[in-house]
Amino acid sequence: MFSHRAGGALCLRCGRLAPSGRKLPPAARDTLRHFLEDQHAPMLDEPAARAHQRLLREFLAEHLTDGRPLRAMEMWEERRL
């Protein structure tokens, strides 16, 4: 389970207690694990890259923006189109 509000990836117990969140597919969990362990992650295909970008945007919006738009993030996402 991944919960923006709870701080990210959750163990099974905490995932059951989180008020919101989503299940991440195995490939997404592996990529995040590579990031956390400071290892090179395999290249992402376009849909996977967009999914990770969206996850990052949602996480940053939850913790940093106080409801303000993330203009730099919006430009980064538009460049990927």
Q: Three-state SS across the chain?
A: CEECCCCEECCHHHHHHCCCCECCCHHHHHHHHHHHCCCCCCCCCHHHHHHHHHHHHHHHHHHHCCCCCCHHHHHHHHHCC
Give 15-70 pLDDT, tens digit per residue: 888 888 888 888 888 888 888 888 887 788 888 888 878 888 888 887 887 778 88
pTM, two decimal places: 0.62
Asked if residue 10 belongs to a domain, the reply is no
Is residue 2 within 8 Å of residue 25, measured between CB atoms? no
Residue 49 CB neighbours (<10 A): 13
Tell me what pLDDT residue 36 has. 81
Asked if residue 4 belongs to a domain, the reply is no
Asked if residue 16 belongs to a domain, the reply is no
d(C-alpha 24, C-alpha 48), whole Å: 11
Q: Number of folded domains in the chain?
A: 1
Asked if residue 53 belongs to a domain, the reply is yes
